[in-house]
Structure 1
């Protein structure tokens, strides 16, 4: 678009000049100068638009062809995915179809932002109207001069000057109208670009928030899993009838250890259900109690001895 702007500043249409520039010039010579200047002005403007439209035309055709091809691809790939028996291949085809549609949308957005298609149509419409005005001017000029029986006079020179000035003013108005449309399209494309950036920023922020939530949940699960594997502890309170007696104590199938006291503890026990075993020699008996060991916690049970 910057390149187009540069070209727009290169257009310089020479006006016919003021009426006093033609005073003192013979009507025939003045009319010839007016006609040539008016036609040269039109030709210069029309040639610029005919040449400038080509770049936009080719860009528009390429963008539209690529967009249509990607649209067909985006529609066809999910259909092929539905016919595939391989889950991995089906997923790949579906994701490729979504990507194709996304790229097609981006190309269309780029076309609107840079104004290739709209500029091409705008240039064609403008230069076509210039061609029509030029054709009408030639016919009007020729018709006026043909109707004259004799040589042109000062009144004819004045009339032809007004005709040429009106024609050049019309060409300038078409160029000005096209420039105003370009300004409007440019402002619209800037607004669209800002909206796309804002929308993408909001989407990115939302995706970031969702990712942070997922990561937080994952961390929580990992911490819970890690905590679930932490060993626990056990405290067994021995309730003796009299003074503490000698006994053997342990858990599950491990070897019992001798103990004399009122509180027996054990650390680094895997979480889960365990059996506390207390063996008394006099009178000989074995007491069993079930206890649930929780991760990173100390379970407490009481065993009463008779």
Structure 2
């Protein structure tokens, strides 16, 4: 049941539709959203077969999540690398263009330098706005965490099976079934928590990116304070209005 080779040591191709541990199960569609699986309802007249069915259901649920994150990282990785490579090339061109213009061979090299720097900023901004690099990293870390949890779950389930077959049995059959159900429940809860944590990180990153958009404060037309100086900068009144002078105290009479 364990994969012979870890999938994290090699790159995943676009047409790689197989997932280690999936067996003969049908993989999910590429970049399809994770959907809820209907809990299998069956007859508990045969507890062993029923528990085995629940084990297969839990395992397929985790494999589907791993498959989704592995496929979601492919296009993010491709676009993130493309944007960063473009930013590096245009940045080098933007820095070297002014040096070339000093030689006098290319009189318009300075303008191309500004264009290169603008393209560099645009590529980095697009990567940050769409969350390509950060999303790629999240997909990799979440898929690896799910894979580790799946392997631990498979060994825990094997231990329960060996205990019932080889061991002396501890307690009644109902207690053994309750232990197996506890293993299944903890595993499903851990998988749901990992997916929810990744989704929460994506939501926080999206909100942070939206909050960084340039906005104008409602009181920006009034007096403003310069940072660190503590002095208030006054805004001059519009032309055509009389400046208001502060009222002065009348002079006091001579002392007698």
For normalisation by structure 1, the TM-score amounts to 0.55
Paired residue for 1:11, among 5, 9, 34?
Answer: 34
Distance 1:79 1:169 in 2: 60
How many Å apart are 1:13 and its aligned residue? 3.4
Distance 1:139 1:34 in 2: 16
How many Å apart are 1:100 and its aligned residue? 0.3
Q: Map of 1:258-269 to 2, 5 A cutoff?
A: none
Number of the residue aligned with 1:85: 104
Number of the residue aligned with 1:134: 150
Number of the residue aligned with 2:133: 117
Q: Map of 1:157-172 to 2, 5 A cutoff?
A: 157-172=177-192
Distance 1:16 1:169 in 2: 14
Distance 2:37 2:46 in 1: 22
CA RMSD of aligned residues (A): 2.6
Q: Map of 1:150-229 to 2, 5 A cutoff?
A: 153-192=173-212, 194-195=213-214
The list of structure 1 runs, each at least 4 consecutive aligned residues, that deviate by more than 4 angstroms after superposition, is: none
How many Å apart are 1:161 and its aligned residue? 1.0
How many Å apart are 1:118 and its aligned residue? 1.0
| Contact residue 77 and residue 93 of structure 1 kept, 8 A | yes
Higher helix share: 1
2:78 pairs with 1:55 = no
CA gap 1:9/1:181 in 2 versus in 1, 3 angstroms: farther
CA gap 1:16/1:157 in 2 versus in 1, 3 angstroms: farther
Distance 2:132 2:104 in 1: 43
Paired residue for 1:69, among 77, 89, 113?
Answer: 89
| Contact residue 60 and residue 117 of structure 1 kept, 8 A | yes
Unaligned runs of 5+ in 2: 1-29, 217-256
| Contact residue 31 and residue 72 of structure 2 kept, 8 A | no
Q: Secondary structure at the match of 2:44?
A: coil
Q: Secondary structure at the match of 1:10?
A: coil
CA gap 1:47/1:41 in 2 versus in 1, 3 angstroms: same
For normalisation by structure 2, the TM-score amounts to 0.65
Number of the residue aligned with 2:50: 30
